[in-house]
Amino acid sequence: MTMLRPLTMLTVAWLCVAVFAGCNRRPDTALHPFSWQRLPAVSDVRRIVIIPIDRSGANGRSSQGLDTALADSLRDIAQHVVIEADPKDLPSSLTGAVLSDRIRADDLLALRDHYHADAVMIGRLHHFNGYDPISAGLTLHLVSCMDGSVLWSASGSFDGSRDTVQKDIAAWYRRRQADRGNTVQTWQTVLHTPSLFSRYIGDRLFVTLAEAR
C-alpha cells in the first residue's frame, strides 16, 4: 500500500529552520516558546477532521479530555469547520497507535470523502502528568487531504512547575477566562485541572494556525 510520508520531509525542513533561522515562535515568546511551522496553503483549509490523539506514549486517565479541548480551541478560532472523528467511523488502519508517524494515502482519501474535509489533524501525546502541577508534551500535524503535505505543525512541552509556563498561564487566564465573569477561581486553578490545562495548550498551539489568515 502506498504510504504518504509527509512527516519525514517535515523533520528535514524543521531542522533546516532550526539551524538557519531558529524555530518559528508565537508573538509572546518571552513567556514560554514552542516550535511550529506552516505552509501558505494552510490558508485555503476550511474543513478539518480531528483524529483522536495518539496516547501510546502517555498513560493515565487525566488526558482523556484532551481531544475535546483541542477541538474547542480550534473552533474558537472561528476560521474552520471542525469535525471530531468518531472512532467507530475511522478506517481500521487508523485505530492503532501509530497515527503521528504516517498516514496512508487510502485512509487520507477515505477521510476526505467521508467528512468532505480539506485536512486532517493528527498528533501524538508524548507525556501527560495529571498531578499538581500538571505537565504535558505533544506534537500536532495538519495534513492536507489533497496531496498529503503537512500544512502546519506545532510541538511543545508545557510543565506547570516552570516559571515561564506559569506566567504564560496567568496571561492566558486573564485574557480568556476572567473575561467570562469567573471571579472565584484564579489562574493557579489551571495547574491542577487537566481540562483547563489542556485548553490552555490548545489555545497556545492553535494561535499560530490563526495567524495564517
Q: Choose the weakest-confidence range: 57-61, 66-70, 92-96, 200-204.
A: 92-96
Q: pLDDT band for position 52 (50/70/90)?
A: confident
C-alpha grid cell for residue 32? 514560554
The mean pLDDT of 123-136, rounded to a whole number, is 89
Q: What is the pLDDT of residues 80-117, one digit of tens each?
A: 999 998 877 777 766 544 344 567 888 888 899 999 99
- Max mean pLDDT range (3-7, 22-26, 91-95): 91-95
Of residues 32 and 46, more confidently modeled: 46
In angstroms, the CA 143 to CA 38 distance is 11
Of residues 115 and 59, more confidently modeled: 115
Closest CA to 97 of 127, 60, 53: 53
Alpha helices per DSSP H over the chain: 6-20, 66-76, 105-115, 163-176, 194-210
- Residue 28 reports pLDDT greater than 60: no
- Max mean pLDDT range (7-11, 104-108, 174-178): 104-108
What confidence score (pLDDT) does residue 78 get? 82
Q: pTM (2 decimals)?
A: 0.79
Domain extents for the chain? 3-210
Q: What is the pLDDT of residues 149-159, one digit of tens each?
A: 999 999 999 99
Q: pLDDT band for position 60 (50/70/90)?
A: low
In angstroms, the CA 136 to CA 206 distance is 16
What confidence score (pLDDT) does residue 54 get? 82
What letters, b where the CB count within 10 A reaches 16 and e where it falls short, cover 85-100?
beeeebeeebeeeebb
Neighbours of 16 (CB within 10 A): 10
The mean pLDDT of 15-31, rounded to a whole number, is 39
Overall fold of domain 3-210 = Rossmann fold (3.40.50)
- Residue 20 reports pLDDT greater than 70: no
